Amino acid sequence: MGNHSEADNHLETENLLETENRIRNLVWTVSGDYTLPVRPDVERFRREKYCVLYDCIRQGAFARWYCPEEFQLYLVKKIYCHGMEAPLKMIASLVTEAAVGKRLLEERRGVARIRQLAWEELLDQEFSMLCASAPGQLQLAWIRRQKDADYRAGGSVGKWLELLLTAEDAKDTGQLIRLTDQLYNRMMEPDFEKRNGTLEQVLAVTVEDLKEFSWQDFLSEEMYEDALETYLEKLSLDMMTLPEAKESAKEERQEEQPKKKKIVLVDENDRKKMHSYVELNYGKTWLTPAQEKQRNLKLCRGMHQGCSLYYTEGILKHPVRQNYQLAYAGKQKDKNLHAYYDAHRAVKQNIRQLTGALRKALALREDVQYFPADGGKLVPSWMWKAGRCSHGNLFLKEQKNDAMDLVVDVLIDASGSQRARQSQVAMQGFILSETLSNLGIPFRVMSFCTFWDYTILHRFRDYEDGRENNGNLFEYMTSSNNRDGLAIRAAGLELMERQEAQKLLIVLSDGKPYDVLLNRPGTGNPDPYRGDYAVEDTAREVLRLRRQGAAVLGVFAGEERELAAERRIFGKDFAYIRDIGNFAGTVGRYLLRQIES
């Protein structure tokens, strides 16, 4: 009986996962952005599957035609200025639905049926809750108006509805923000501007103000760290969600729900399109199709069988066409550069100090040494050895230590877990690059992340590039997952082909390899690349490089609870930096030890 129950639970889990993955693929198809984070509410899906499905479709459409980040930031600033969170999110959800609904139905007729079923579920499950609030009453009026174009609501609700309908003609995100603000103030707090400020004053709130504010009241305890970023992410999902009554019992069930294996289910048509999607979102590759195939055959073996490597210099360097991802990459580069300009004095000081310390070590290592040999400079006092000693070493040979016989590879985790540290990582990578350029040491810098079954290696500068390429580090941007073992294997291939005697690989990561699964029809399901399975694979790749003669340093910038995994991967050669600002100094000290040894 127990085995039967366990099998039923397993089947239910797999069915839910399959549904979740199909929804995710649908959202990506609607938005055209295959890096868009999609988290279907699986628990709610059990009760109101069409509500969840319609929410996700709207999320994809909104990301396609508007700027979600700009809209989310307004909501956060409004809440910072004492706006009420729950009604503001309900109004935001209505505005986004009104903005995309008409165009969405014109493009995809099948959405009309899904929307109709979603509204039926909503009215069946949440009718009482909707009747109890002004945003809920507007939601009911909106549904009636969509079903009957002649419907006219009376009183205040009628005025709100006519204002909401103007969202259908909104040309940009700014118009939606103004509409949301008007609706909130009229419906919820008519004196909001007098007490808390106008829309212009709300939008004038700086990111620094937001970061200093405690968002803990709006988050669960495990989300406290990086609270602003976490809250923004939470809002991005909430503003696309049809209203739902909150139940403490439901929240308790969510806590008890075990973590599930993430699998993306794709068919062969999706598979064929994948390379184009990757090219569109990460920039063109510098490899020919034949070179790409050769590398994949050589490196994507064992547990990485079926995976692919994609080599690029980034979407900003080699874009396919104008799209949302290109604009986002440009914005992130601007953020990275602004952070650098704000701290440029400290950056230059770091470069000077690091360069000075390493240059002194290199000078000491370049001392000339002499040793007995069978050729070189004759030592007259050793002539007595001729014919008497078997080795016959009568000469001194000069040997000059070449401390510059060193090559360095820097590999940076660019998965989504590094998002909050993007500007700092870019800045520290620049400090290290400038230092190595000052010393004339050949080096390469790449970042890595994994999107679907593609591990993307973004090359910022190659071994022999000039100093002018160091600025490419400010194009550092994060997304998706991380398959550390495959990235290290790929970086190590070219590192070991270098002629320098000393080879050093530096890996900056959070010590948590994790990759979503890609399940293709007709193939066996791969094991999830996470936990012990992923840690052991990454550790094997590190050990393999060390056995070939390379030094490998792990620079850990993750959570303290992941330290044990980092030790398993890198052994004693890893550095724990609690502040990413210490990255260049930490790596510099390790470089110093490598030179001195």
How many secondary structure helices (H) and strands (E) does the chain include?
23, 12
Dig out the tokens for 376 from the structure: 């070189």
* Chain segment 180-208, per-residue pLDDT in tens: 999 999 999 999 898 888 999 988 887 66
Domain map (residue ranges) of the chain: 2-244, 273-356+403-596, 369-400
Chain centre distance of CA 472: 18
Q: Reply yes or no on domain 273-356+403-596 having CATH 3.40.50.410.
A: yes
- Cα separation of 587 and 594, whole Å? 11
Give 215-255 as a 3 state SS string: CHHHCCHHHCCCHHHHHHHHHHHHCCCCCCCCCHHHHHHHH
Q: How is residue 71 written in tokens?
A: 């809209």
pLDDT tens per residue across span 206-248: 766 666 555 444 443 333 334 445 555 555 555 555 555 554 3
Dist CA 24 CA 12 (whole Å): 18
Provide the terminal-to-terminal Cα distance of the chain, rounded to the nearest Å. Answer: 64
Give me the pLDDT at residue 131, please: 82
Residue that wins the pLDDT comparison between 550 and 248: 550
Per-residue three-class SS string for 144-155: HHHHCCCCCCCH
289-298 long-range CB contacts below 8 Å, 24 or more apart?
295/490, 295/493, 298/493
CA distances to 345, 405, 466, 472 from 351, in Å: 10, 21, 17, 17
- Nearest residue to 95 via CA among 149, 174, 14: 174
Q: Please tell me which residue, 245 or 566, carries the higher pLDDT value.
A: 566
Per-residue pLDDT, 34: 58
- 436: tokens are 């190595």
Angle formed at CA 147 by CA 141 and CA 152, multiple of 5 degrees: 45
Please state which of the ranges 23-27, 112-116, 122-126, 367-371 shows the lowest mean pLDDT: 367-371
pLDDT given at position 321: 85
d(CA 139, CA 183) in angstroms, rounded, equals 13
> Is the pLDDT score of 90 beyond 80?
yes
Please write the tens of the pLDDT for every residue from 91-128. 998 999 999 888 888 887 788 888 888 888 888 777 77
Q: Supply the DSSP symbol for 48.
A: -
Task: Provide the pLDDT confidence category of residue 35 given band limits of 50, 70 and 90.
Answer: low
Q: Is the pTM of this model over 0.75?
A: no
User: Would you say 570 and 511 are in contact if contact means Cβ atoms under 8 Å apart?
Assistant: no
Whether residue 418 contacts residue 383, with contact meaning beta carbons closer than 8 Å, is answered with no
Give the residue from 418, 408, 372 showing the smallest Cα distance to 594. 408
Average of pLDDT values for 295-303?
92
